[in-house]
Amino acid sequence: MALRIASATERDLSLILSFIKKLAEYEKLSHQVVATEDLLRDALFGARPRAEVSIAYWNDEPVGFALFFHNFSTFLGRSGIYLEDLFVDPPHRSKGIGKALLIHVARIAKERKCGRFEWAVLDWNKPSIDFYKRLGAAPLDDWTLFRLTGDALDRLVE
């Protein structure tokens, strides 16, 4: 079987959105998806792209994706890459596709001289946690992720 990973293009918007929805369903968060093709078009391919997507193809069939963007470490004085989403269609799991996507993004990080490559995983997602640990990734148990959205974000800026 042939695995190929390619950078997404604007023609892939509906595919990207479908992967996002499948990931949200897997994570039991479908109710939170408000992304549209128009929003993704602007974010990924607009005048100032804010994220990038790589798509995995198995025998030319799209089977997974990785969405990532740059962040910055003041301690390292360098940018890093944050992996927002990684998803492989369930029938294609355990074929090395997820690992290949991670290696692909890690190579991008190295080529761009990034100081780190990081991501978050839901606490209940033991298969993914075990997978990441097998690859040598270390959980940051001493950090707590905070988020402001919706009304809370609006109140803060008022």
Q: Which residues are catalytic?
A: 132
Alpha-carbon gap, residue 105 to 59, rounded angstroms = 21
Contacting residues for 5 by C-beta, under 8 A, at least 6 apart: 54, 55, 56, 57, 100, 101, 104
Q: 66, 70, 64: which is closest to 53 by C-alpha?
A: 66
- Is the Cβ–Cβ distance between 110 and 81 less than 8 Å? no
Alpha-carbon gap, residue 136 to 113, rounded angstroms = 20
Give the phi and the psi of residue 34 in degrees, each rounded to 5.
-120, 0
